[in-house]
Amino acid sequence: MPLRVEELNGGDCRTYLLTEGNAAALVDPLRERIEAYRQLLGTRHLRLEFVLETHTHADHLMLNRVGKTLLGAPVLMHRESPSPLVDRYVADEEVLALGDERIEVIHTPGHTPDSVAYRVPGAVLTGDSLMIGATGRTDFPGGDAGKQYDAIVDHLFTLPEETVVWPAHDYRGHTSSSIGEERRSNPRFQGKSREEYVALMGGLGLPFPHKIEMSLQVNQSGFEADEVSFPSVTELLVVDEITAEAAGARLASGADLVILDVREPEEFVGELGHIPGALLVPLDALERRLPRLSRHAGREIVVVCRAGARSATAGAILRRAGFERVWNLAGGMLAWSAAKLPIYR
């Protein structure tokens, strides 16, 4: 039986149900509709194999620990996802199996570093990268218009032109498009070079989504708004970044740096390990530990997490509390590992 794609929400935010026989996958589910998805799966006697997220969303709440338990299926995201709630990280060109059908992962960074599209037979679910007559904004932390242009032009636009495009959002009542139609008529690309596209995206001046502080940082961190006093986007953007290479060189030279790791304990000793000498203070414990951390107030503090998102939140919390010499490790432990710098497990 061929793989079937269905949209479930009937609104601006799209959730897709993929089915092959009685095997099913959910793509970009909304937290508030979990019960509706569960009822649908039960009524149709479908077996939910996994939940696929196209990226870390900023305009709605993704699954939390309770939601994951209710759905009873692993959550899959690209390996650059910052969330500790991901059960399996996927990579570009990786192929997943749903029943007898294939789902290909296509990394499409730009809207977020962890953005992906999922290619299924005859169609591609493009998330917030390629939309109908538009593209996803690139002005959120971690956004990159140049990378988005490359991902769409060099990867999505090279798919067969009859490939159906299913986006994660549409605000004008459209349901689907095709690669050929978007390649020919999407105004973001018509007659534009990469440089012109970057300039266009940089000048959109779009307002931030409602409650972005809550949605984005809750989704990035795995914590709820009542567990962490999340800073504003403005506070996030003023936290300075340091590259893994620069931080590694400073440590090697004997600089007096405090490495503050704000991941969960299981991550600290997990696959990515941690920087030797790092101090572990999980994000949800950071505010309680501020009095004890005050003895480091005059030192430089480099804040670390998996991908650089939770550490940006932590850096803003530290800045708010009066710590002035705070750096966010850009790209987190993923970047540190890629730079082949010392790691302790």
Residue 220, SS3? helix
Lowest mean pLDDT among 31-45, 95-109, 192-206, 208-222: 208-222
**What's the pLDDT tens digit per position in 28-59?**
999 999 999 999 999 999 999 999 999 999 98
pTM: 0.93
Asked if 235 contacts 319 with a C-beta cutoff of 8 angstroms, the reply is yes
Question: Fold for domain 228-338?
Answer: Oxidized Rhodanese; domain 1 (3.40.250)
What ranges do the domains of the chain cover? 4-202, 228-338
**What's the pLDDT tens digit per position in 7-30?**
999 888 999 999 999 999 999 999
Between CA 234 and CA 312 the distance in angstroms is 11
Q: Count CB-CB contacts under 10 A for residue 253.
A: 8
Asked if 117 contacts 129 with a C-beta cutoff of 8 angstroms, the reply is yes
Fold agreement (4-202, 228-338): no
- What mean pLDDT comes out for the span 158-163? 98
Residue 125: CA atoms inside 13 Å, Cβ hemisphere, count? 25
**What's the pLDDT tens digit per position in 327-340?**
999 999 999 999 99
Between CA 187 and CA 177 the distance in angstroms is 14
**Cβ-based neighbours of 48, under 8 Å, separated by 6 or more:** 24, 25, 26, 41, 71, 72, 73
- What mean pLDDT comes out for the span 187-209? 93
State the average pLDDT for the chain: 95
To the nearest whole percent, how much of the chain has pLDDT over 70? 100
Residue 33, SS3? helix
Overall CATH class of domain 4-202: alpha beta
Q: Which residue has the higher pLDDT, 209 or 206?
A: 206
